[in-house]
């Protein structure tokens, strides 16, 4: 056995688990009310095709084995239904399912009767376009976790969309990320690869390469890797900052924006842990012409701790800031705009923390700037992007609409500001306030501006997720002609924010 040189696997398997490397594997699930679309692969067949080369492809195709899908209602003990699969197409669909039921599914390769791990799914109506689904009781990724978190969305120059997500569970290793692609503007998605170790991954593109900033695990090493084939294969990752591991303090870097300003790339980073009582904050940066895969080329500012004596700070227990956004302010300086952990304080929501950096002296410690008036800037991660055509800052946030639930995430909204001091909710995108906020969540959105539209990837907990935090879906959405929602439009002058039409 040779050492593994890259970051990617199709799929990942333990060294002591050869069955996973030679058996079929169901790599993507997309359940609807009465149907299931799914994607599968056969690692053994892929390896045989690669070894055959171009001259042997026709012969390999002619000798392709047969495959059959088997499914039934989970725990019913009934006989399995079956459906033959086309060996030349790894996308399949099951129809005639019962809405609101849990199912189990596996596929088998004939004639050896090599069987994939069983996957579980629940039928039901979702939102947006489903990129991937993971049932809370599906054990297939139990070595990392049992829910889909940390979405990151990227559009490549070719038009391809990439979507990544990690597999999370509290107290688990949390070291696997899944990567998917769309070549039809997000209407359909297909599996690319697994990445391990990879947690809290942020996709970005720079000078002909696709990059991923990530961690080895929660509070583990901060890593960077690159791909030169639009996400299919990845270099071995390089350690930028050392970590302490999930039970100790270390770098905390959610999939936050990477921006370019004054010849440098900037992104926000934190250091600490929940168990240690909070986090300190910094900006990570690098010269745009430097080799991003050389750790010594990166610069991190000195970390700044939260101070409850800052003017405008909330009163009572507060964990301070977390998961900041690097953004250029109206004055041309670099800022870090963070979510403000206010849920146990007074007030309990409605502000974001803004720190000022220096693009001229990128190692200098950040300085307190102000607390922004921002419903959606507290208690949950948000992405913040500046849009030059509208001369405004945009964010997609978990809006608090019920003061008794300051940490609610069941209402997702579009917010806007022109000065980074006052934000306004201008459009409700997903409004599920009628659902229990402990069970339903739309959160941690990663978004990008695509011409007149906003595209976003959402960590979605719906239809019997484990809870509102531990999402079972990763869903893709489009906000068409988003600049029409700038403050000053007719309906905003009337003081209303009507729901966004279906995307």
DSSP string, 324-337: EEEEE-TTS-EEEE
Tell me which residue of 160, 201, 202, 206 sits closest to 183, measured CA to CA.
160
Confidence of residue 86 (pLDDT cuts 50, 70, 90): very high
pLDDT at residue 497 is higher than 80: no
pLDDT at 53: 66
Beta-bridge partner residues of 30: 37
Q: State the virtual CA torsion across 481, 483, 488, 491 in degrees, nearest 10.
A: 30
pLDDT in tens, 474-485: 999 999 999 999
Mean pLDDT of 16-30: 90
pLDDT at residue 274 is higher than 90: no
pLDDT at residue 190 is higher than 70: yes
pLDDT at 246: 64
pLDDT at residue 60 is higher than 60: no
pLDDT at residue 492 is higher than 70: no
Return the structure tokens found at 150.
């940390």
Give the strand pairing for 177-182 and 190-195: antiparallel
pLDDT at 247: 66
pLDDT in tens, 142-160: 999 999 999 999 999 999 9
pLDDT at 205: 98
Mean pLDDT of 317-345: 96
pLDDT at 490: 38
Find the range with the poorest average confidence among 80-89, 324-333, 458-467, 485-494: 485-494
Sketch out the chain's domains with CATH numbers: 8-122 (2.60.40.10), 129-493 (2.120.10.10)
Question: Which residue has 């899944």 as its token pair?
Answer: 178
Return the structure tokens found at 250.
């270390």
Mean pLDDT of 404-424: 97
pLDDT at 401: 96
Give the strand pairing for 278-287 and 299-300: antiparallel
pLDDT in tens, 98-135: 999 999 999 999 999 999 999 999 999 999 999 999 99
Whole-number Cα distances in Å, 238 to 197, 198, 214, 235, 259:
12, 12, 10, 9, 21
Tell me which residue of 443, 394, 446, 449 sits closest to 153, measured CA to CA.
446
Confidence of residue 1 (pLDDT cuts 50, 70, 90): low
Mean pLDDT of 340-349: 94
């Amino acid at each position: 056995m040779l050492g593994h040189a890259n970051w990617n696997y199709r799929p990942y398997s333990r060294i002591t688990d050869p069955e996973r490397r030679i058996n079929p594997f169901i790599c993507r699930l997309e359940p609807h009310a009465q149907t299931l679309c799914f994607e599968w692969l056969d690692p053994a067949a892929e390896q045989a095709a690669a070894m055959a080369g171009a001259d042997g492809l026709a012969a390999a195709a002619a000798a392709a084995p047969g495959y059959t899908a088997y499914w039934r209602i989970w725990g019913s003990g009934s006989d399995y239904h079956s459906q033959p699969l086309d060996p030349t197409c790894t996308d399949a669909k099951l129809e005639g399912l019962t809405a609101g039921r849990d199912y189990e599914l596996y596929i088998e390769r004939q004639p050896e009767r090599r069987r994939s791990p069983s996957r579980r799914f629940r039928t039901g109506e979702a939102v947006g376009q489903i990129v991937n689904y993971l049932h809370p009781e599906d054990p297939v990724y139990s070595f990392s976790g049992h829910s889909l978190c940390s979405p990151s969305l990227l559009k490549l120059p070719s038009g391809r969309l990439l979507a990544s997500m990690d597999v999370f569970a509290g107290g688990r290793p949390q070291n696997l990320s899944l990567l998917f692609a769309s070549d039809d503007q997000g209407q359909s998605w297909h599996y690319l690869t697994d990445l391990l170790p990879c947690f809290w991954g942020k996709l970005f593109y720079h000078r002909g390469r696709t990059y991923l900033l990530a961690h080895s695990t929660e509070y583990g090493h901060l890593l960077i890797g690159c791909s030169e084939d639009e996400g299919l294969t990845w270099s071995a990752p390089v350690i930028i900052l050392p970590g302490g591991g999930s039970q100790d303090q270390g770098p905390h870097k959610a999939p936050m924006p990477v921006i370019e300003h004054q010849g440098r790339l900037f992104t926000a980073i934190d250091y600490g842990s929940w168990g240690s009582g909070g986090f300190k904050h910094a900006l990570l940066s690098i010269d745009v012409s430097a080799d991003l895969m050389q750790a010594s080329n990166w610069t991190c500012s000195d970390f700044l701790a939260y101070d409850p004596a800052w003017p405008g700070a909330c009163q009572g227990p507060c964990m301070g800031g977390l998961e900041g956004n690097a953004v250029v302010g109206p004055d041309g300086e670099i800022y870090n705009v963070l979510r403000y952990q206010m849920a146990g304080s007074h007030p309990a929501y409605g502000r974001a923390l803004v720190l000022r950096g220096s693009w001229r002296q990128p190692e200098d410690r950040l300085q307190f700037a102000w607390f922004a008036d921002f419903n959606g800037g507290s208690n949950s991660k948000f992405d913040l992007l500046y849009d030059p055509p509208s001369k405004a800052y945009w964010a997609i946030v978990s809006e608090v609409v019920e003061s008794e639930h300051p940490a609610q995430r069941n209402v997702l909204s579009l917010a806007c500001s022109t000065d980074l001091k006052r934000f306004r909710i201008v459009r409700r995108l997903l409004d599920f306030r009628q659902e229990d906020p402990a069970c339903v969540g739309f959160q941690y959105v990663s978004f990008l501006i695509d011409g007149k539209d906003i595209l976003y990837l959402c960590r979605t907990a719906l239809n019997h997720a484990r809870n509102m935090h531990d999402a079972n879906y990763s869903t893709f959405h489009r906000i068409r002609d988003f600049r029409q929602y700038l403050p000053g439009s007719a309906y905003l002058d009337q003081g209303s924010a009507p729901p966004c039409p279906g995307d």
